Structure 1
């Protein structure tokens, strides 16, 4: 005889909060559980109660602990960073995968703070703040020196992946966590989380590596300004609003730190517009980033810039990549969470501050992969 799953009492506001904060619609839940939309709606209005099996399936779908469904009331969550690139009221709600990535990053940010406190490490971000009135070109010169990456070293990197790792390591040394998870590329390239320390940068691992490098430096600019924001693929807001000025500053800063004006001018004088690909490879950045830098420095006219960008779009130069194909879960943990976070977990485990099960949970790995994390990244 088939046993019927018992009904469970779940607070209607909690049911609605968990669904909405996970990016699911009533129709999504209806289709996932194969129940009517009215039945799902009744759970959130108190007219009916879900079964335990239904709650378990929702917990798995929402990537939430089962215990979250039995809270007395919704937990207060930090609001998302502002979206500076879209006009107020013009942005669509973020979807499941993007919201999950931000939630995971925030959770790891809080875990990182606890792990650092266990080791008597400060969680404060080690940066010299900037003002919107500061010249981003001058700030870029100062920050490149602080990050310790000379142009000669940048030009010696074997590929864009080595470049990304170098910039990421340098920023993480400033006590900023850098996480990267797959998100919907049409929604988000990255964001800066500054509600807690250590501050964190979240990057979209679905983006090409060169674009991730630019976004990493762009978000670093947001941290310098202490202006948390969502960075979407949409064009920045035009005008003199505060939001537009912040985006323009961060874009100028990222371009300047990646391609100092003297160096990029010399390269362009030598190679010209037909050598843009060679220049991009020299700095381990995208063609679009080089073209934007050239027009910013008035090395090419706006009309030429737009024409070259149209060529890139026709060629499909702006593509996506999922990355990590065939990698072990240990290497995935390092790529997604970063070397610093992994090291904090391993040291806390070694000293007995957290259990092995907690370490496995924080890193998203199985027991057999834990030893692999003690080996250097090839």
Structure 2
């Protein structure tokens, strides 16, 4: 077996950063093996290359990372996992990886901005959880709300563009359908100015609400990593900060329609559960049906039983639509039609693109690094350098 010298401090650093217990780490390391690996068998004076590859399969840092003799940076600035211990969701490994990936990108961009003399400083004031979330939403809407677009994806794109004007960096990440383990989060906020969203191809309105919610965290300057659980929002116990961000997000997206929602009578079978009124408000605001129901529960306008029934009906409709789309794709495949489906591309913030462009023009990064960072093919380069 080939072996090599290595820096065990860097491995311990990653185990600590990802908040893994030793047994949990060894279980991940032993995946697919008949006999589980032990700490003593793996971490000797020199390490087997095969074991090192298994470690990198967990952390995805590249083998050279573990061979680097320099001490790892263990500071609150280097990772949210050193700044905060508990989060709104019990994060799986895939989520921890994606958070670390964007934390590294954030640090890299900060360095590029300084070298290229780009100002990424916060432009909006920091608010507090004792401030009225509706008043804050009304103030911020005047600055950050773009012209309404009927198509939810285009509206999301417009929001990200507008946020960029105020130095708020928004990233999307797209998960491949074949991934063995997908993230169990919808979004997160990293100080000072980074919001990350999971692409939700089937529920763009959910992604829009997540963005508005994380904007709330940005305004409070309170970091969080979380899943948007509407049932938890409606009936669960949540912190003061989470309640504030939910209320803010709703008011930010609802705008003037908030008054119409507050005027709605209680939802009953007699008024057909105000279905048409709720649909109209949803169409005019990009608030999802589920988000509106959650708000109405908080306003005591809908009972738990009616909420559960309407949510169940909605989920069944969505599932039926997915099944129909799946059958259509399978039929087209049987008929020999080429699939037009391709992996979605994440929306790129213009602030991110302009920062990378400036770093290239200032000679801070080269052409290869530019293409790699913006995920470009060489023949696409000219378009980004105009």
Same fold by TM (over 0.5)?
Answer: yes
Query: What TM-score bracket applies, with the shorter chain setting the length?
Result: 0.7 to 0.9
For 2:216 and 2:320, the matched residues in 1 are separated by: 23
Query: How much has 1:298 moved relative to structure 2?
Result: 5.5
Pair 1:326 & 2:339 matched: no
Pair 1:112 & 2:109 matched: yes
Q: Is the 8 A contact 1:312 1:318 kept in 2?
A: no
With over 3 angstroms needed to count, the CA separation of the structure-2 counterparts of 1:135 and 1:107, relative to structure 1, is: same
Q: TM-score, normalised by structure 1?
A: 0.77
Q: 1:226 aligns with which of 183, 198, 221?
A: 221
Classify the secondary structure of the residue corresponding to 2:167.
coil
Q: Is the 8 A contact 1:144 1:257 kept in 2?
A: yes
Instruction: Report what 1:42 is aligned to.
Output: 41
Query: How much has 1:325 moved relative to structure 2?
Result: 5.3
With over 3 angstroms needed to count, the CA separation of the structure-2 counterparts of 1:223 and 1:343, relative to structure 1, is: same
Q: Is the 8 A contact 1:30 1:40 kept in 2?
A: no
Instruction: Report what 2:28 is aligned to.
Output: 28
Pair 1:180 & 2:172 matched: yes
Pair 1:126 & 2:123 matched: yes
Instruction: Report what 2:211 is aligned to.
Output: 216
With over 3 angstroms needed to count, the CA separation of the structure-2 counterparts of 1:209 and 1:245, relative to structure 1, is: same
For 1:317 and 1:20, the matched residues in 2 are separated by: 39
Instruction: Report what 2:249 is aligned to.
Output: 254
Pair 1:164 & 2:160 matched: no
Instruction: Report what 1:265 is aligned to.
Output: 260
For this pair of structures, how many residues does the alignment match? Answer: 343
Classify the secondary structure of the residue corresponding to 2:61.
coil
Q: TM-score, normalised by structure 2?
A: 0.75
Pair 1:356 & 2:367 matched: yes
With over 3 angstroms needed to count, the CA separation of the structure-2 counterparts of 1:325 and 1:60, relative to structure 1, is: farther
With over 3 angstroms needed to count, the CA separation of the structure-2 counterparts of 1:187 and 1:126, relative to structure 1, is: same
With over 3 angstroms needed to count, the CA separation of the structure-2 counterparts of 1:336 and 1:96, relative to structure 1, is: farther
Instruction: Report what 2:325 is aligned to.
Output: none
Instruction: Report what 1:14 is aligned to.
Output: 10
Instruction: Report what 1:78 is aligned to.
Output: 79
Q: 2:62 aligns with which of 65, 68, 75?
A: 65
Q: Is the 8 A contact 2:88 2:224 kept in 1?
A: no
For 2:300 and 2:188, the matched residues in 1 are separated by: 29
Query: How much has 1:165 moved relative to structure 2?
Result: 1.0
My pick for the range that moved more, 251-260 or 21-30, is 21-30
Superposed CA RMSD: 3.6
Query: How much has 1:250 moved relative to structure 2?
Result: 0.4
With over 3 angstroms needed to count, the CA separation of the structure-2 counterparts of 1:287 and 1:326, relative to structure 1, is: same
Classify the secondary structure of the residue corresponding to 1:168.
helix
Q: Is the 8 A contact 1:109 1:177 kept in 2?
A: no
Instruction: Report what 1:98 is aligned to.
Output: 95
My pick for the range that moved more, 252-261 or 107-116, is 107-116
Q: Is the 8 A contact 1:265 1:299 kept in 2?
A: no
